[in-house]
Amino acid sequence: MQGTILVIDGVSTNRIILKVQLTAACFQVLQADSLSAAMALMKDNRPDLVLTAMTLPDGDAADVKRALDRVRHGAGVPVIALCPQNDRGTRIMALSAGIDEVLPLPVDDMILQARIRSLLRMRMQDDELHLREEGVAAFSVPLKDTTAAQITQSDATVALVCHDLQTAQKWKSRLSANVDFRLKAYNVDAIQDLMRTPVPDVIVIELNEHSAGMALRLLADLRARISTRDSVVIAVPNPADASIAAEALDRGAHDVLHCGFQVDELTLRITAQLAHQQRAEMIRNTLRDGYRAAMRDPMTGLYNRRYARPFLEQVTQDAQSAGSNFAVMVADLDHFKRINDAYGHPVGDAVLIEAARRLQAELRGCDLLARIGGEEFMLVLPDLHPDEASTVANRLCRAISGSPFVVKGCAQPLEVTISVGAIVAQQGTQPLSADDLFVAADRTLYEAKHAGRNQAAIKGLTQSAAA
């Protein structure tokens, strides 16, 4: 089955007709004859989409939308309302209430199926984002509340793309009286201008009898390109044409004006799509922040052990495939506990932050520096010649000991040193796991410690290094 659709209609023949249409398209169909019956079904079922009559025995389509938003699994479920006549006022009222689509009866099966497919695609994308958001929340810092944020749209740019520039300018003039969006007019040939950075937030494309083919290709192109794939695309068949509208939806349009260009309806659809887009972007930003927090040390900004281990595994695999060398180092600030005991943890934290900065400054862009413990750091240096490893390790020691640490709260600068243990994995040596490499580098670190600290100990990778 492609999904579950809840059909709500007080007229049994309407429900039967819709069930036949939807079942033939491999949807599972639930039926209810009233709003109250639908809500009872929602207790044990989670439909992917709701198809409701505009008027019900105990409410209307707007009541259905409000009731869904109050149910645990109902918020965000797409709603299509069916009205007896193609009444513009009723359609505007329903769209204003948050209903996703309004279609006239008898419903055109082609446009209905295309609209269902389009809304379900958006629903699945939303579900995937929310699942990832929940996954990040399980091992990360608390995420920001995306529902509480105020969505502002005055800075949004809307491109109006028509068969000819004169029509686009006319649409711009009519729309400008209703909206605060920044409007730009293009003809359908101006694809280079349209894709010039920054790309529009919304692209409205006219599909008329002269340029429908070209405009549909442009629509598909916009949805496929990296630069414009996050832009909202709204198609406007002009004049109205159900087959062209259906094709536009199947080619990736987020929305369609079935009845041609109408200012108030287009305004509502742009506003709704922008709100959806911005909520999704907020979740994506939260995901990025959450993953970053999970992989970074909050004090120093360096990567942590959770990130460093798989990084080392990947470097190991790449080196084995390419026959290249690399180094793994473990570094530890000497007598760090004395700093905390003598000056307090705030001073110790400041020393760690400055030490991380100095160490990072000595590395290449491809190298990894991670904080893996209190005062302990791990370094992974891909494609490093064995002769260079000693040079780098000693340079790291000098970066810390070369000049005192000036820390707020300390009357005198602090003398800080570091010890480094390095393992160099050379071409042809026995491959070891990331854990074995770390253990070998850690043992080498303690050789540097026992030799007097403030120095580096270097070993080539041999079988005995991990023994």
pTM comes to 0.67
Q: Which of these, 275, 238, 273, 278, lies nearest to 257 by C-alpha position? A: 238
184 pLDDT more than 70: yes
C-beta separation of 186 from 232 below 8 A: no
Lowest mean pLDDT among 69-83, 161-175, 410-424: 69-83
Average pLDDT for 41-55: 93
User: Token pair of 226, please?
Assistant: 């990296």
pLDDT category at 129 given cuts 50, 70, 90 is low
State how far the Cα of 372 lies from the Cα of 12, in Å rounded to an integer: 66
Find the mean pLDDT for residues 357-374. Answer: 94
Instruction: For residues 452-459, give the mean pLDDT.
Output: 94
What does the DSSP 8-state code read for residue 432? Answer: -
pLDDT by residue (tens digit) across 261-279?
A: 999 999 999 999 998 888 8
Tracing tokens 């740019």 back to the chain, one arrives at 157
Question: What is the predicted pLDDT for the residue at 201?
Answer: 93
Give residue 401's pLDDT. Answer: 96
Per-residue pLDDT band for 327 (boundaries 50, 70, 90) equals very high
The residues with which 185 forms a beta bridge, in sequence order, are 160
Q: Please give the CATH topology (third level) of the domain spanning 4-107.
A: Rossmann fold (3.40.50)
Task: State the residue for tokens 């004006």.
Answer: 257
CA-to-CA separations, 125 to 119, 129, 131, 280, in angstroms, rounded: 10, 6, 10, 9
- Give 465's DSSP letter: G
Q: What is the pLDDT of residue 278?
A: 85
Question: What average pLDDT score do residues 391-407 get?
Answer: 95
- 364-390: b (≥16 Cβ within 10 Å) or e: eeebbbbbbeebbbbbbbbbbebeebe
CATH topology of domain 305-466: Alpha-Beta Plaits (3.30.70)
Alpha carbons 188 and 159: distance in angstroms, whole number: 11
Confidence bin at 464 (pLDDT 50/70/90): very low
Closest listed residue to residue 54, CA positions, set 17, 16, 93: 93
172: Cβ–Cβ under 8 A, 6 or more apart, which residues? 160, 183, 184, 185
Q: Give Cβ neighbours of residue 342 (< 8 Å, ≥ 6 apart).
A: none
Q: Tens of pLDDT along 282-321?
A: 877 777 777 777 888 989 999 999 899 999 999 998 888 8
Averaged over 60-69, what is the pLDDT?
94
Q: Is beta strand 368-371 parallel, antiparallel or unpaired with respect to 376-381?
A: antiparallel
Q: 157-292 — its CATH code?
A: 3.40.50.2300
Q: What's the pLDDT score for residue 320?
A: 86
**233 Cβ partners below 8 Å, 6+ apart?**
202, 203, 205, 219, 222, 223, 252, 253, 254
Q: What is the distance of C-alpha 56 from the center of its chain? A: 39
Mean of per-residue pLDDT scores for the chain: 87
Q: How many helices (H) and strands (E) does the chain have?
A: 15, 17
How far CA 48 is from CA of 3, 20, 41, 212, 256, in Å, comes to 6, 18, 13, 31, 20
Q: Where in the chain is the domain with CATH 3.40.50.2300?
A: 4-107, 157-292
